[in-house]
A and B are shown apart, each in its own frame.
Chain A
């Protein structure tokens, strides 16, 4: 057996270790969510993040080192976004019939997300770069990062806020919309996708396939609208 320290310093630098940790943590998180009967609070993304954060903390691994390995998973976000065209196409007839409700919901939801995030944080004393990083948080990650940079936020902080927003949406949507007795899967999915992007969409696909398809549309459209609205809103307010 070679020197264990040398072995560790080799493994810690290679992408293989952190890629494996990411997948194993996700499989474990998914099992935990399953064991909790898919309770909304047992969100697999949240559990996986906590598991990996603990491993990084215990091993003293900085985030950039971890990301070297995990970037292969992160990369797949791009093709997955493109792949949303397939369920969108499968729901073409429905999409055509609900074009107007979607447009109205999109503008209402997108503006609400940007203004209420900035308003609540501002009222609670958040200022500067941290505040501006909140503006695009309902948009999907690649969009939000670009917008954050454009409005003077901190892109890596925005990335975290985007993920936390998605987890929040996935946790609150089902109990809240059930309590309100909203049975229209199109409306439910669309609103979740626009407010909570891909994580909301992943959750919506697990609940109902129509909700998932509409969630994907909501996410795609809000990505475009946030890219246009957030710089405008920030320019007017600050």
Chain B
């Protein structure tokens, strides 16, 4: 458990160091994700060992967004002014993005014969 958390933090730290050191547009944790994924390709046993920790952390992923979300209280003036427009833009673009993603995925899967998921 502790070892697995240390591994996650080490990859995040390496990612942050690369991102900031080279001024990359990609954020540190995403680079860390890529690095850990590459490491797991060579160490399948580690993937098995890290599974409970990763699953435990990801099962409560929604909780981790709560503190940033409460930031809405600091922007009430903006929402009072532009609330309807922002709500329409958020709902509209989220629906459109999901539809575009699903549509493009299904269409390409059908065209390339990768339609069957087993």
Contact = CB atoms under 8 A, between A and B. Distances in A.
Contacts of B25: 146-147, 150, 227-228, 231
Secondary structure dominating the interface of A: helix
Contacts of A78: 12, 28-29, 32
B96 A100 contact: no
B50 A86 contact: yes
A116 B96 contact: yes
Interface string A70-102: 110110111111111111111010100110111
A177 B95 CA distance: 10
A141 B44 CA distance: 30
A3 interface: no
Contacts of B32: 78, 81-82
A108 B68 contact: no
A188 B70 contact: no
A223 B26 contact: yes
B89 to A, nearest CB: 4
A195 B57 contact: no
Interface in B65-114: 65-75, 78, 82, 84-86, 88-109, 112, 114
User: How many interface residues does chain A have, given as a range?
Assistant: 35 or more
A160 to B, nearest CB: 5
Q: Which of A25, A92, A106, A112 has the most CB of B within 10 A?
A: A112
Contacts of A140: 30
Interface residues of B, number: 73
Contact of B90 (A52, A66, A92, A164): A164
A74 B64 contact: yes
Given A74-B64, A79-B5, A63 B105 contact: no
Nearest to B39: A85
A109 B108 CA distance: 13
Q: Which of B32, B61, B101 has the most CB of A within 10 A?
A: B101
Contacts of A52: 66, 70
Interface of A: 22-23, 25-26, 44-46, 48-49, 52-53, 56-57, 62-64, 66-67, 70-71, 73-74, 76-90, 92, 94, 97-98, 100-102, 104-113, 116-118, 120-121, 124-126, 130, 134, 137-138, 140-143, 146-147, 150, 156-157, 159-169, 172-173, 176-177, 180, 182, 184-188, 190-192, 194-196, 198-199, 201-203, 205, 210, 212, 216, 218, 220, 223-224, 227-228, 231
